[in-house]
Amino acid sequence: MSSSDTNQSSGAIYHHVSPTVTLVYRVVSGLALLFALSSILITLIQGGVVSASFFLLTLNLLLSCSLIGQLWWWHRTGDLSEDRIYVVFAAMGILAFQCLTTIIWVFNYQLSQAELIPAPCRL
């Protein structure tokens, strides 16, 4: 038989947060992950084809993703309290903005005239 009051484990991750906040948290996390993976893939492909400087953008995105992952882990383990979830939301918003500007930069990149003209042969 079940009693009227449920037993909440003190080790539960989301027992202090409402279900709607948890749902929004998971949706935003999924979108940020999708943005990050697509941006990293695009910069890797364009870095090999167009300009090797795009690999620096890939490195920047990977560093930002590692920071987001650390914040996510701190929130998940309880080191970052549940009332500080806005920090994780803000960081994911910044990551999404960074991914969008990276994609815009990659697809609007113009090769300079010096890169278009091949170097003369040296004998």
Number of domains in the chain: 1
Give a yes or no: residue 18 inside a domain: no
Give per-residue pLDDT as tens, 60-85: 999 999 999 998 888 888 888 877 88
Give residue 82's domain range: 25-107
Across 1-5, 16-20, 38-42, the highest mean pLDDT is recorded for 38-42
Q: How many CB atoms lie within 10 A of CB 36?
A: 21
Answer yes or no: are the C-beta atoms of 39 and 102 closer than 8 Å: yes
Give a yes or no: residue 119 inside a domain: no
Give a yes or no: residue 38 inside a domain: yes
Give a yes or no: residue 53 inside a domain: yes
C-alpha of 28 from chain center: 10
Determine phi and psi for 119, rounding to 5 degrees: -70, 145
Answer yes or no: are the C-beta atoms of 41 and 65 closer than 8 Å: no
More confident residue, 90 or 78: 90
Give a yes or no: residue 32 inside a domain: yes
Give a yes or no: residue 79 inside a domain: yes
